[in-house]
Amino acid sequence: MTTARIVGVGMTDFGVHDRPLAELFAEAAFAAVDDAGLETDAIDAFYLGNAMGGQTERDTHLAPTLATHVGVAGVPCQRYEDACATSSNAFKHAVRAVEAGQHDVVLVGGVERCTPVTGLETPEMTSVFASAAHRQYEQPTGLSFPGVFGLLTTRHMHEHGTTEEDLAAVAVKNHRHGTMNPRAQFGTETTVEDILEGPIVASPFRLMDCCPFSDGAAAVLVASEEAAASLSEARPSVSVAGVGHATDVVPLSDKVDPTATQSARDAATQAYEEAGIEASDVDVAEVHDCFTGAEVLAIEALGFVEDGEGGRAAVEGTTALGGRIPVNPSGGLKAKGHPIGATGVAQLVELTEQLRGDAGDRQVADAEIGLAHNLGGDAATTVVSVLEVAQ
Active site residues: 84, 338
The distance of Cα 111 from the centroid of its chain, to the nearest Å, equals: 12
Report the C-alpha gap between 232 and 220 in whole angstroms: 17
C-alpha to C-alpha distances, 235 to 182, 210, 255, 300, nearest whole angstrom: 21, 35, 44, 34
The C-alpha angle with vertex 49 and arms to 44 and 55, in degrees rounded to 5, equals 135
Question: Is 160 within 8 Å of 311 (Cβ atoms)?
Answer: yes
Report the C-alpha gap between 100 and 128 in whole angstroms: 36
Amino acid at 252: L
Residues in the chain: 391
